Structure 1
Amino acid sequence: MKYLSVLIIVIFSLSTHADIKTKSLLIFGDSISAGYGMSKEKQWSVLLQEKIKNENLKIKVINLSVSGETTSGGLSRLNQALNSTKPDYLLLELGGNDALRGYPPKKIAANLVEMIKIAESASVKVLLMQIRIPPNYGSRYQKAFESIYLTIASETSATLLPFMLEEVALNKDLMLPDGIHPKASAQPLIADYIYTQLKPLLIH
């Protein structure tokens, strides 16, 4: 009887583990997340998936980032992206290209908020990536732009994530000559940084 009880417990434990649902994370960004200038296997999103797999975590990473994407472009294709992937989480990494083109921060914020609302209506949890821009765009614009992410996070249910290039942007050896895009050598660092930020949010 004792052995039978132990066997039942073991089987139940294995069954419970097997029934853990694989969650999915949709990365929805621009060239920084699309892996500008490098092959797919070197991109941080792929390295992130490998790291998650090595940690035996049941999370599938889906990357639908597009180089040159703006918040308006992202807004126009978000519904289709959510419908086709059915993610549990949405990592929203947009706004950089809007800022580089000098778009009004209020409009950028409005687009981001609308995307968050769309995701929320689909029961998708939003992780909003903070974006920073070079100071040569003017301190007034820089401050107005960068502040929208803090404001949005405080006014919506989105979770704000620290700027993903925090540890590489100031290292010229890790950045392409344009000073905007990270090199392939920076991708493992970005993947590790993102993983550190995401793990407490995705594993609970």
Structure 2
Amino acid sequence: MMVRHKSKSFSLFALFVLLFFTLNTKAFSNSKSILILGDSLSAGYGMTIDQGWVALSQQYYNVNNQPVDLINASISGETTAGGLRRLPSLLEQHNIDWLLIELGGNDGLQGHPTSNIENNLNAIIDLAKQHDVQVALMQIRIPPNYGKRYRQAFEGLYPKIAEQQQVAYLPFFIEDIATQTHLMQNDGIHPNQQAQPMISEQMQQQLLDLLYN
């Protein structure tokens, strides 16, 4: 009786340990994850997704044994309203440490009211905070032909929201690339494949700084 009792107890204990480690692997790992909620600039528009800066950055982290998991939830044509609609299910699906918001470009190109853009970005940040997810907001810029007044109002949203919400603020990641025609696709809006490693190199350290500093 004693032997059978101990054997049964050991089996139950082993099962518990197995389930615990299976369900909580993230708790015993040094890796941290960041979900990138973006548009075509992060979705690799005009190329295969493995050629985009997000995939290249993940490859870099893997090769160099950097404990970073990038989850690319970017969709070409995405707006701040679309990102807000998708975020609840993304937060349920993924256990993330950080959310990087790279949205607003399509809103600006479509001339959406800046008040709507601001409300959507604030709602995205608030939702992430409710799930104990830290947030980084990337500056977005639009071409000058949209008018000085609208452009200034649009671009001024990002530092203002970041300051008010007390979240990390990142510079526009194609600031320098956008002025070099050989690094842009024919539409003049999207970086080409040649530019992707440059964007990746720029973002690699910025993301590490977010996650581990």
**Pair in the same fold by TM > 0.5:** yes
Match of 2:117, SS? helix
CA deviations on 1:99-145 (whole Å, 9 max, x unpaired) are: 00000111101100000000000011111111011100001000000
Identity %: 48
Give the distance between the partners of 2:206 and 2:68, measured in 1 at CA: 15
| Structure 1 stretches of 4+ moved >6 Å | none
Following TM superposition, by how much is the alpha carbon of 1:196 offset from its aligned partner in structure 2, in angstroms? Answer: 2.6
Distance, in Å, in 2 between the alignment partners of 1:152 and 1:81 is: 22
Aligned-residue Cα RMSD (Å) equals: 1.3
What is the CA–CA distance in structure 2 between the aligned matches of 1:157 and 1:49, rounded to whole Å?
Answer: 27
One-letter amino acid of the structure 1 residue matched with residue 158 of structure 2: Y
Q: CA deviation at 1:167?
A: 2.5
Corresponding residue SS for 1:127: strand
Are the aligned partners of 1:92 and 1:127 in contact in 2 as well (CA < 8 Å)? yes
**CA–CA distance in structure 2, aligned partners of residues 38 and 167 of structure 1:** 21
Residue number among 119, 122, 127 corresponding to 1:118 in the alignment: 127
Unaligned runs of 5+ in 1: 1-18
Q: Matched residues in 2 for 1:153 and 1:175: separation?
A: 28
Q: 3-state SS of the aligned residue for 1:182?
A: coil
Matched, 1:40 2:40: no
Q: Within 5 A, what are the aligned runs for 1:1-204?
A: 19-204=28-213
Aligned residue for 1:169, secondary structure, equals helix
1:20 is displaced (CA, Å) by 3.8
Report the Cα offset of residue 165 of structure 1: 0.4
Aligned residue pairs: how many?
A: 187
Provide the C-alpha distance between the structure 1 equivalents of 2:210 and 2:87, rounded to a whole number of angstroms: 22
**1:133–1:142 contact (8 Å) kept in structure 2:** yes
Corresponding residue SS for 2:173: coil
SS of equivalent residue, structure 1 residue 160: strand
TM-score by length of 2: 0.85
- Tell me if structure 2 keeps the 8 A contact 1:126–1:157: no
Q: Which amino acid letter does the alignment assign opposite residue 157 of structure 2?
A: I
- If the length of structure 1 is used for normalisation, what is the TM-score? 0.88
For the pair shown, which has the larger CA radius of gyration, 1 or 2?
A: 2
Q: Deviations over 1:30-68 (max 9, x none)?
A: 011110010122110000101112332111111011110
- Segments of structure 2 that go 5 or more residues without pairing to the other structure are 1-27
SS in 2 for 1:192: helix
1:152 is matched by which residue type in structure 2? I
